[in-house]
Amino acid sequence: MPRPQPQLGLATEAINLEELYAVISGAASQDVAQLQACTERLKMMMDMTGTFDGLSDIASQKTSVPLAVRQQSIIQFKNHALSHWRSRKLLTDEARARIRSRCLMMLDEEDDLIAQCNEEIISKIARSDFPGNWSNLVTDLMTTIETNLQIRYSSNAADPRTTLVLRRSIKALNGIVFEFTTIRMLTGVATLKNLFTYLHQPLWKYYETISSPFASTLNPDSIALPRTAEDLLLAHLIYEAVFHLTTWLWQRHGKDGKDEFEGLRPWFNTVFQNSGVVRKNLNESRTNIMKAVSSSAAPLTGTGRKSIGLLTRHLLLLGEFFRRLQQLSSPSFVRIPSCTDIVLYGWSKVVEATNAAPQLISDSEEAVFPTKVLVQAMVLFKESLGQWTEKPKKGLVNPDTLSREFVEEAVKLLVTKFIPLNPKDLEGWMADPEEWVNMEDKENDQWEYDLRPCGERVLMTLCQQYTSFVVPLLETTFKQVIDQPTVDLASVVQKEALYCAIGRCALKMKDVIPFDQWLEHSLVPESRSDNPTFPIIKRRIAWLIGQWVHNGCASADNPRIWDVLVHLLKDRGPGADAVVRFTAATAMKECVESRDFDINVFAPYLSAAVTELVKLTEEADTLESKHRVARCLDTIIDRAEIRIIPLIPVITSAVPQYWIAAEDDFTFKATLLGLVECLVKACKEHSATLNALTVPLIRDSLSPKNITSLDEQGLDLWQSTLRNTVTIESVNGAPALAELVPLLLQLLAVNLDLLGKIIGLVESYFILGAPLILKSYALDFFRAAQAVLTGPVVSVNIKDITIALNLVMQIAHPSQWAEAIHLSGLFAHIISYVLNEESPALQTTQFLYVLARIIIADSKIFMQLLSATASSTGAPDDSKLMSDLMDVWWARFDNMAEPRQRKLTAMCIASLVSTGHPQVLKRLSNEIFNLWMDVFCEIQEVLDQAASDGTRYGLFFVQVDPSMRPWCTSSPIHRFWDEDQAPSSYYKETEGTPEWNRRHTLFTTDPVRTTLLSTYVAARLQEAEVACGGSQALQQLYLQDVDPTVMKQIQVYLSKS
């Protein structure tokens, strides 16, 4: 009898198909209650075996299942089954085979939604199963395509089912090809190689078969035929697959597949050249058709409009093919045979469009010259210019250079046709000035999609690549236009376009245009004109100044620049409008950010600029516009520094109302927080006067309703406020920073995401006012610290919190924290962690530093804490704890790499010795002496003015006045082991703030730096002798077995004290 096989994994409940059908029908119901109940049940059924197979079966039943149920089934399958396709609990191999079979059976599906889902399902399953478990997939699809193509194109008769199956099959194949082109794993690449070999020639043949009937015969009559629309769609779908295969091949032409590409170059060149021919023929046919339609009284039929839409999309796909090849390798792209002809043909259509009536150009699929097609041609042209110069980057002579005549004509075309504002631009300006400015500011991201910004980029590239042609032309045009009167809207628009061209080409034009002279004689008078059409010029003047100054082509120390910008900011008379003011604000920001900005030159304009910017913020209707002006204010405040202090009331007066009005617009609230943070940084030690604003903002930004979106910005403002203030107490009755301590301790205990920033705040608080904080919140602080250390923190957070604890021990008197660190349980936790053999060495060492600081601060308090901890564990005394602790200290001493930390340890061990604790003293002659010897040898430090009149006393040390603390010497110490300045990491990016001074003082007064180790050890040994009953008692009890050589060395070092 065979043994039963063990069940692997958890048993999975099998699906009841009748229930599944009932549930999926309910999920497709219009009854809300039934829909909700069935949706919940369906979620549960997704974890049952057979659910996915059942959903696929329901979706495939065309005649017996309602369409809505089928749609719901396939949507649920697509959303859930694909991510669990390999699950053996939910799908058997037989179920997977049935599902794959159904997918191919559904290629004649009439419903587009079901078909679209099915095509995605096929491609995703193919990624997993092809070719291993679905080897017939591609061959079956190709057979279906081949068979139906022969049926469709062997006669003029059109069978709807044949066209439907062709469309579905081609889309499925296209999805598979695309899916494999996204795979980077070697197995996926190998599969795609095989796919390419099998598909590339048949697919191109299919494209030629489908496109040949209409590629050169389209006309206003044929475009209205249903068959034309079908052919256009099929050709488009086939070409998508060709697109993916060809671009994949092109990516390999310079890599490991170079030899493979060379073998396929003839096919590649054929596809490239013929694609250019098809694009040209279709483009010409389309232009002729749309011109005929636009001049005819009869509009396009529904089928005709569909065909034109498909034709336009196909032209864009052909253009996208060339653009993608260019993006992958622009130098290689222009060397492809016929590439230059293809690119220049596109430019010729741009030229043709500019010579046509303006209404023929629009962003519509039915325009005679669609904007997207023109922009695509301009981008191809622009990106090829760098390869058409006389000597491209590789330095080779290029036969395909453009002539001077061609370049000059192109520049004239751009400046007179594409760059000028058109009536639609001006309508948008007048209808919604703020939105218009917002869109203009985004032109850097939109230049590949809009004619005007694209034209500007083409001009910039022409000027860069053909400087000797473009600069003289622009210079001549400038001299001709600059003194001509601007009498009407047309001349205003044309002058604005010329100014735009000069601004875009500033780096090349700066040597031929005397900017300061131009500014004085033309721009200043034009900026003050009250001509009602001059806002167009004024807006461009502001932009132009920003461009020239920001790019270093003009100096920001010219007062006339600030005269113009401030005037444009505050001008609200005739010839001014909001667009000008917003543009002037942006230009001012760019000038202030420039490298040669001089605050002394700008100072006379500071008050007016800030006042007008605040006023502009109030006038703005949209938060995006307010955001823009606030960024400008940020920049000015940052550069003005303490000069901004008199203007604080002007800036801050409106912040509360903006904050309230912003409601859930967290982007603008973040901007406001950044603005106030800039003010705080600028005011530095005077920033306490801002607490009436900063404290409420910090509290509200970290409230439950805002903290998810504003936590980082709120903490940044808080940190800057602490670093720049001089007190945490109330100033002039304003809220005190001390009031925020409970919130900080709450965040410290629970907010792990931003724990590093929160600990930084803790440090700043204690450096600024440790006594005040510990007086009220000592127990809360140590409890929060324990919550951090007992939670799921990472090692960097443990290091940060131990650094904060070290600061507390160094700054505050032990009486302020000793009881709290015990009651909180933190001290016991540290001891437990240190003594745990499984604790990581690095973290253990960091905790030892904390204990060392406690011991140096007051060794008696440490002994009390240790005894209390021992009592809490039921131990009779602290002997075992002390013994174990000394073992750990000795074991971890070699992990302490920094001389400062090794000296700290030596000092803390000396303090423990002073207590006379037997568990410490019994290690004195061996471990402790050796540890001290190591540190004495390493650190090498002496007093600049050493006392010379000491006498030997006792075993080790110099007789001193009992009223003195010899380890706190007033004489400077030469530390050969340490730098005079702390490392930059110690200051935590506080340079230039009052906190830097506080940290520096803390660093320079650290007992580890100010104490001569030999003096400190000598004094602690003297205290140990007293604790033991005298030097003889110490000698007899703990130094009988000391090595005489070691003893002598210790005496030599201690004699230096």
User: Of 843, 864, 887, which closes a domain?
Assistant: 887
**What value does the mean pLDDT take over residues 367-380?**
96
Look at residue 961 in the predicted model and tell me its pLDDT: 32
- Looking at 2-6, 451-455, 511-515, 663-667, which range is the least confident one? 2-6
Question: Tens digit of pLDDT for each residue in 949-1000?
Answer: 333 333 443 333 333 333 444 456 666 666 677 888 889 999 999 999 999 9
Look at residue 256 in the predicted model and tell me its pLDDT: 65
- Confirm if 354 and 285 have CB atoms less than 8 A apart: no
Q: Tell me: do 982 and 862 sit in the same domain.
A: no
The answer to whether residue 401 is domain-embedded is no
Closest CA to 501 of 467, 463, 533: 463
Look at residue 386 in the predicted model and tell me its pLDDT: 85
Say if residue 1052's pLDDT is above 80. yes
Range of the domain at 34: 11-134
Look at residue 965 in the predicted model and tell me its pLDDT: 36
Q: How far is CA 435 from the centre of its chain?
A: 26
**Residues 402, 391: Cα–Cα separation, whole Å:** 12
The answer to whether residue 754 is domain-embedded is no
Q: Tell me: do 573 and 529 sit in the same domain.
A: yes
Say if residue 399's pLDDT is above 70. no
Residues 6+ apart with CB under 8 A from 179: 123, 124, 126, 127
**Residues 847, 896: Cα–Cα separation, whole Å:** 12
Q: Tell me: do 188 and 157 sit in the same domain.
A: yes
Look at residue 970 in the predicted model and tell me its pLDDT: 44
Q: What is the DSSP string of 625-681?
A: HHHHHHHHHHHHHHHHGGGGGGGHHHHHTTHHHHHHHHTT-HHHHHHHHHHHHHHHH
Look at residue 943 in the predicted model and tell me its pLDDT: 64
pLDDT averaged over the chain?
90
Question: Strands 361-362, 369-370: parallel, antiparallel or unpaired by DSSP?
Answer: parallel
Helices assigned H by DSSP within 61-136 = 67-80, 93-105, 112-129
- Confirm if 953 and 987 have CB atoms less than 8 A apart: no
**What value does the mean pLDDT take over residues 353-359?**
91
As for how many domains the chain has, the answer is: 6
Q: Is the dihedral of CA 477, 479, 482, 483 positive or negative?
A: negative
Burial 983-1019 (b: 16+ CB within 10 A, else e): eeeebbebeebbbeebbeebbeeebbbebbbbbbbbb
Q: Tell me: do 157 and 125 sit in the same domain.
A: no
The answer to whether residue 386 is domain-embedded is no
Say if residue 489's pLDDT is above 70. yes
Which residues share a beta bridge with 369? Answer: 361
Q: Which two tokens stand for residue 180?
A: 């494999």
- Looking at 442-456, 484-498, 830-844, 971-985, which range is the least confident one? 971-985
Confidence of residue 946 (pLDDT cuts 50, 70, 90): very low
- Confirm if 550 and 591 have CB atoms less than 8 A apart: yes
Question: Tens digit of pLDDT for each residue in 254-279?
Answer: 766 677 888 899 999 999 999 999 99
Which residues share a beta bridge with 361? Answer: 369
Q: Tell me: do 206 and 259 sit in the same domain.
A: yes
Confidence of residue 790 (pLDDT cuts 50, 70, 90): confident
Q: Which two tokens stand for residue 544?
A: 């132009």
User: Of 861, 887, 913, which closes a domain?
Assistant: 887
**Residues 956, 300: Cα–Cα separation, whole Å:** 110
Which residues share a beta bridge with 763? Answer: none
- Confirm if 470 and 402 have CB atoms less than 8 A apart: no
Question: Tens digit of pLDDT for each residue in 623-672?
Answer: 889 999 999 999 999 999 999 999 999 999 989 999 998 888 999 999 99
- Confirm if 122 and 176 have CB atoms less than 8 A apart: yes
Residues 6+ apart with CB under 8 A from 177: 195, 199, 241, 244, 245
Closest CA to 762 of 779, 781, 776, 775: 781
Question: Tens digit of pLDDT for each residue in 811-822?
Answer: 999 999 999 999
What is the CB neighbour count within 10 angstroms for residue 1048?
9
The answer to whether residue 669 is domain-embedded is yes
Q: Tell me: do 860 and 927 sit in the same domain.
A: no
Single-letter code of the amino acid located at 284: E
Residues 6+ apart with CB under 8 A from 141: 104, 169, 172, 173, 176
Place of tokens 């019994």: 922
The answer to whether residue 410 is domain-embedded is no
First to last CA, the chain: 91
Q: How far is CA 810 from CA 739, 761, 816, 851, in A?
A: 24, 17, 12, 11
Look at residue 944 in the predicted model and tell me its pLDDT: 55
- Confirm if 513 and 479 have CB atoms less than 8 A apart: no
Q: Tell me: do 692 and 780 sit in the same domain.
A: no
Look at residue 757 in the predicted model and tell me its pLDDT: 94
Q: Tell me: do 194 and 325 sit in the same domain.
A: yes
**DSSP one-letter code for 609:** H
Say if residue 39's pLDDT is above 80. yes
Q: Which two tokens stand for residue 141?
A: 């699809």
Place of tokens 């006309």: 219
Question: Tens digit of pLDDT for each residue in 276-316?
Answer: 999 999 999 999 999 998 888 778 889 999 999 999 999 99
Helices assigned H by DSSP within 858-993 = 859-872, 879-892, 899-914, 918-921, 929-939, 984-987
The answer to whether residue 964 is domain-embedded is yes
Helices (H) and strands (E) in the chain — how many of each? 52, 6
Confidence of residue 21 (pLDDT cuts 50, 70, 90): very high
Assign 49 to helix, strand or coil: strand
Confidence of residue 14 (pLDDT cuts 50, 70, 90): confident
Residues 6+ apart with CB under 8 A from 256: none
Question: Tens digit of pLDDT for each residue in 1030-1046?
Answer: 888 888 888 888 888 88
The backbone torsions φ and ψ at residue 429, rounded to the nearest 5 degrees and listed phi first, read -60, -50
Single-letter code of the amino acid located at 439: M
Look at residue 977 in the predicted model and tell me its pLDDT: 64
Question: Strands 957-958, 952-953: parallel, antiparallel or unpaired by DSSP?
Answer: antiparallel
Q: Tell me: do 155 and 257 sit in the same domain.
A: yes
Q: Tell me: do 563 and 654 sit in the same domain.
A: no
Residues 6+ apart with CB under 8 A from 172: 107, 118, 119, 122, 123, 141
Q: Tell me: do 918 and 1012 sit in the same domain.
A: yes
Single-letter code of the amino acid located at 723: R
Closest CA to 37 of 49, 26, 50: 26
Closest CA to 268 of 328, 310, 358: 328
**Residues 829, 827: Cα–Cα separation, whole Å:** 5
The answer to whether residue 827 is domain-embedded is yes
Question: Tens digit of pLDDT for each residue in 880-937?
Answer: 999 999 999 999 998 898 888 999 999 999 999 999 999 999 999 899 999 999 998 8
Say if residue 10's pLDDT is above 80. no
Single-letter code of the amino acid located at 470: V
**What value does the mean pLDDT take over residues 551-556?**
94
Q: What is the DSSP string of 156-176?
A: S---HHHHHHHHHHHHHHHHH
User: Of 111, 134, 157, which closes a domain?
Assistant: 134
Look at residue 526 in the predicted model and tell me its pLDDT: 94
Single-letter code of the amino acid located at 60: S
Confidence of residue 4 (pLDDT cuts 50, 70, 90): very low
Confidence of residue 6 (pLDDT cuts 50, 70, 90): very low
The answer to whether residue 412 is domain-embedded is no
Q: Tell me: do 804 and 926 sit in the same domain.
A: no
Residues 6+ apart with CB under 8 A from 207: 235, 238, 239, 242
- Confirm if 660 and 616 have CB atoms less than 8 A apart: no
Question: Tens digit of pLDDT for each residue in 591-610?
Answer: 999 999 999 999 999 999 99
Q: Is the dihedral of CA 48, 52, 54, 59 positive or negative?
A: positive
